[in-house]
Amino acid sequence: MPETKKSFIELDPNEAKTLLAEVGGEPFRLAQIHNWIYKNHVADWDEMENIPKHLSQNLSEALPLHPLEIIHIKGSKTEPTRKFLFKTQSGHNIESVLMHDKDRTTVCISSQVGCAVDCKFCATASMGFIKNLSAGEIVDQVLQLERESQKKITNVVFMGMGEPFLNYNRVMEGATRLNTALGFGARRITISTAGIVPKIRQMADENRQFKLAISFNAIDEDRRKKIMPLTQIHSLKSLMESAFYYYQKTKRFITFEFVLLKGINDSPSDGLKLIQYLSGLPCKVNVIPYNEIGGEFSRPDEQTIREFLNTLKQAPFTVTVRWSKGTDIDAGCGQLAVKAI
């Protein structure tokens, strides 16, 4: 891979101040630069109209503004869902998704290149784990998608490539910057995990205000181990104990994601067991009919999905259904994996 240096967006405040002084910029210019980056979403230094040309040239020679480069887009600006392929400065590729739905515009962003968790129904698992993204690379996905979007982004979900809690510190730093620098309310930012138990407890102890989602997908240890090998390290029992701990500590609802897999977890009896399993915990359940990736699993037929959902009508918790958008361009939940263009 090529030798890389930090981009400006990846600098911490002290590093940014030091750089500005080294290239001959007055301290007040930093606020102007941040305004261009976080409010106007500029693509390059020379777009900053109130920054002197000699200063923007010096900054450009010192380091790039963005750590990511858009190299391919699937879908047009008139379509509700588009998928973006980014290249990092180290030459790795990641994907993000931009989705419009009525008054909501959501971005699904990545936290790692590849993923080490190896959920059997997820396309990203086929890549293996390559590297963690920096906080700047996490934030830059949102910045660049904001520039590409026809509408203002309202929600950010860490449900792209990677397991966010295996890159915990950088994910929390990135989410905090989205909250403070870009103005996203903490409750508009959702961080999803396959079930890294110690980090669920840490998030509770740190009283992080972001929403928490847990990929659940099975109501017994054996089945969950088969589709989510992570269960061998963090058992379903310990996961539920951490979920109860999180609620008791924060009094905030967790959203449990439940991917419906044909013949695995899609029967009415599975729905009833799910109710029994979660009825003691104030929460929400988001049912996701499986999005095909050409592997060993398949999506239940519509009748089976309806029968499963009918059993959940008696649930004491809120149930929603995510009819994934962008499945035709492999941008649906679980479909992100870098492929040849």
* Annotated catalytic residue 333: yes
Tell me the pLDDT tens digit for each residue of 206-254: 999 999 999 999 989 999 999 999 999 999 999 999 999 999 999 999 9
What average pLDDT score do residues 187-194 get?
97
Pick the catalytic residue from 95, 146, 163, 257: 95
What average pLDDT score do residues 298-322 get?
93
pLDDT of 292 over the 50 cut: yes
Burial 224-241 (b: 16+ CB within 10 A, else e): beebbebbeebbbebbbe
* Confidence band, pLDDT 50/70/90 cuts, at residue 125: confident
Domains of the chain (ranges, CATH numbers): 8-62 (1.10.150.530), 68-329 (3.20.20.70)
* Annotated catalytic residue 108: no
Distance of alpha carbon 157 from alpha carbon 97, whole angstroms: 10
Cβ–Cβ < 8 Å for 242, 212: no
Q: How many C-beta atoms lie closer than 10 Å to residue 28's C-beta?
A: 8
Tell me the pLDDT tens digit for each residue of 320-335: 998 754 444 344 454 4
Distance of alpha carbon 332 from alpha carbon 94, whole angstroms: 15
Pick the catalytic residue from 108, 115, 283, 333: 333
Q: What is the pLDDT of residue 180?
A: 95
Q: What is the pLDDT of residue 336?
A: 39
Tell me the pLDDT tens digit for each residue of 27-76: 999 999 999 999 999 999 999 999 999 999 999 999 999 999 999 999 88
* Confidence band, pLDDT 50/70/90 cuts, at residue 337: very low
The answer for 114, left when phi > 0, alpha when psi is -120 to 50, beta otherwise, is left
pLDDT, mean over the chain? 90
Distance of alpha carbon 196 from alpha carbon 174, whole angstroms: 19
Distance of alpha carbon 295 from alpha carbon 337, whole angstroms: 13
